[in-house]
Amino acid sequence: MSARSLNSGGDAKGGFPAGGLLGLAVMAGAAGLGLVLAWQAGLFGGGPGAAARRSAAVYASALRAEHQAFTEVYLRHEARALRVGAGETLAGLLARAGAEQAATNAAMASIVDVYNPRRLRPGQEIDLFFLREGDAAQLTGVAFRSEPGATVTANLTSSGAFAAREVMMPLKFEISRIAAPIEGSLYATAMARGATDREVAALADAFSYDIDFQRDISPGDKFELVFERFYDDAGDTVRTGELLFLSLETRRGARAFYSFQAPGDARGDWYDADGKSARRFLMKTPINGARLSSSFGMRRHPVLGYTRMHRGTDFAAPTGAPILAAGEGSIVRAGPFGTYGNYIRIRHANGYETAYAHMSRFARGMRAGARVHQGQVIGYVGTTGRSTGPHLHYEVLRRGQQINPMNIQVANGRNLSGRDLELFQAERERIDILRHARDSEATEAAAPNARAGAL
């Protein structure tokens, strides 16, 4: 933040033609600061002779006077950081900060040329710079992060107008490896270590066939993500590229998947070390599981697993969370259905059906006879029918009888073979080398400390 303030001051200085009153003040302030630093660094310590000492004393007193004048100018520059309030516009924020109407208008007129201020979200930080003259404070600069990796600055020029520009910050790239125990929730843990929504959603997606995300994930379970990461000077993730590897270790066991696109496939998929697809006939968690492992709703109403009495699985989730078709099939029923509320039932192969209840609403096109593919959004979580709070009630039926989704025994999923398997094994090896390279980096970083400890 302070680096950006200084940059912004530098920009303002550069923007002024020589002789501009404000420009001189800012330059004087900056020069004064430089002299103070030189003074403190002992650059004007004086020579060995008396004359030299005298002239050094004169020079020092001159410097002190200059220093005082410059410091006063410098101190008149005020930097403030404000956060955008709920429903607040950028112009509103400038007014709240004490900017005059004319300066606000001039700043806004320049900013809209490079950025749409409506894109600002509540809570975002805006840096403001003022020149204080007695009780009045003149707005001289505005700066904020316009998007990850980019900053918008607007600076007052000597003509009284503002000049705005958007600056892209240079990004660094790495293959990032996160291997950590889950603390609180999988989602929060991954985010705190530099992953984004994309990686966490992909992990939840790949494991939705194996794992009941509401009941099978507990604190201390381990996960790993290996992905391409672009980050800024502050180390913050700006964007991520390809996701290469993911694994999850729960009480149901450990599984790891490698990203691989077989020749002729439209897109990549997840395969275990033996080349078996992560996909299965039906999902065990037909909802984005990444956020389910958090404590959301757990305390608000009972979240039941499959029992003989209950005959379904409940997932507590916020109203509006997308519900996914657990497998490919055709809809046999979509509409209100007694205590189930808004309800969809899908017929799959092999005599299986799945049912989804209490939806707030249906996705477009959901009616009897419609085909759905696995993972397609069919509706949204709600609390219609007999329900104590927003949740998805999910049933798997086999020949008309509800069964426990954890007990589905259908051999399926793709197994790579032949040339595809050879290509996959080469790719798996490359990914493992990248993973282990991250391992050795971590080891090397730890080693010097270990040696120091031994001394």
Rounded to the nearest whole angstrom, what is the least distance from the CB of residue 281 to Zn ion in the complex?
22
Stretch that binds Zn ion, among 119-127, 144-152, 266-274, 393-401 (CB under 5 A): 393-401
CA 52 distance to own-chain centroid: 61
Contacts (Cβ under 8 Å, ≥6 apart) of 217: 182, 186, 211, 250, 292, 293
Stretch that binds Zn ion, among 38-46, 209-217, 385-393, 396-404 (CB under 5 A): 385-393
What is the three-class DSSP state of 289? helix
Stretch that binds Zn ion, among 14-22, 165-173, 241-249, 392-400 (CB under 5 A): 392-400
DSSP string covering 213-226: TTTS--TT-EEEEE
Contacts (Cβ under 8 Å, ≥6 apart) of 324: 208, 283, 286, 287, 288, 374, 375, 376, 377, 378
Q: In this structure, what token pair is assigned to residue 267?
A: 């897109």
CA distance 158 to 222: 59
Rounded to the nearest whole angstrom, what is the least distance from the CB of residue 359 to Zn ion in the complex?
13
Rounded to the nearest whole angstrom, what is the least distance from the CB of residue 213 to Zn ion in the complex?
16
Asked if 390 interacts with Zn ion (CB under 5 A), we say no
Rounded to the nearest whole angstrom, what is the least distance from the CB of residue 311 to Zn ion in the complex?
8
Asked if 215 interacts with Zn ion (CB under 5 A), we say no
Asked if 312 interacts with Zn ion (CB under 5 A), we say yes
Tell me which residue has its CB nearest to Zn ion. 393
Asked if 382 interacts with Zn ion (CB under 5 A), we say no
Tell which residue, 300, 303, 379, 372, has the closest CA to residue 343.
Answer: 379
Which of residues 127, 221, 224, 314 is near Zn ion by CB under 5 A? 314
Which of residues 279, 348, 393, 435 is near Zn ion by CB under 5 A? 393
Asked if 358 interacts with Zn ion (CB under 5 A), we say no
Q: Which amino acid is at 201?
A: A
User: Alpha carbon of 264 to those of 53, 61, 237, 412: distances in Å?
Assistant: 84, 81, 33, 20
Stretch that binds Zn ion, among 263-271, 279-287, 308-316, 407-415 (CB under 5 A): 308-316
Output 128 or 324, the one with its CB closest to Zn ion: 324
Output 149 or 312, the one with its CB closest to Zn ion: 312
Output 202 or 326, the one with its CB closest to Zn ion: 326
Asked if 212 interacts with Zn ion (CB under 5 A), we say no
Rounded to the nearest whole angstrom, what is the least distance from the CB of residue 308 to Zn ion in the complex?
13
Stretch that binds Zn ion, among 53-61, 309-317, 362-370, 422-430 (CB under 5 A): 309-317
Tell which residue, 190, 365, 153, 175, has the closest CA to residue 293.
Answer: 190
What is the three-class DSSP state of 338? helix
Residues contacting Zn ion: total by CB under 5 A: 3
Backbone torsions φ then ψ of 157, nearest 5 degrees: -105, 170
H-helix or E-strand spanning residue 240: strand 237-250
Binding site for Zn ion (CB under 5 A): 312, 314, 393
